[in-house]
Amino acid sequence: MVGGNAIRGTRVGAGPSGESERGESAPRRRVSYWCANGHESRPSFSMDAEIPEEWDCPRCGLPGGQDAKNPPAAPRTEPYKTHLAYVKERRSDADGEAILAEALERLRQRRQII
């Protein structure tokens, strides 16, 4: 028996004769974007699509612009904050002392009951 699989060597979605079955693809244009590290990416867009000002670099993730000599600056990332840092933003030291004193007083009262 010769050849047991009739669809051997094809990929999912491939038609029997390609473009004639699916129709013509939309006309496209490639736009160059450069990031601060000097990487160039060239995504393609439909001719009638709106071209974005910035495009994220697929190699390093920095934003890229269309001007090779003046790429956009890397975004400033905030350092990780601990829970204590967020609490200190909301409360003053005096508030913290008052809350601590209140909690200690409740703890002492519970210990006297037991």
- In tens, the pLDDT along 75-99 reads 888 888 999 888 889 999 999 899 9
Whole-model pTM: value is 0.52
State yes or no: 89 annotated in a binding site: no
State yes or no: 60 annotated in a binding site: yes
- In tens, the pLDDT along 7-31 reads 566 666 665 555 566 677 789 999 9
Check residue 7 and report its DSSP letter. Answer: T
How far is the CA of 95 from the CAs of 82, 90, 91, 92, 98, in angstroms?
Answer: 19, 10, 6, 5, 5
State yes or no: 6 annotated in a binding site: no
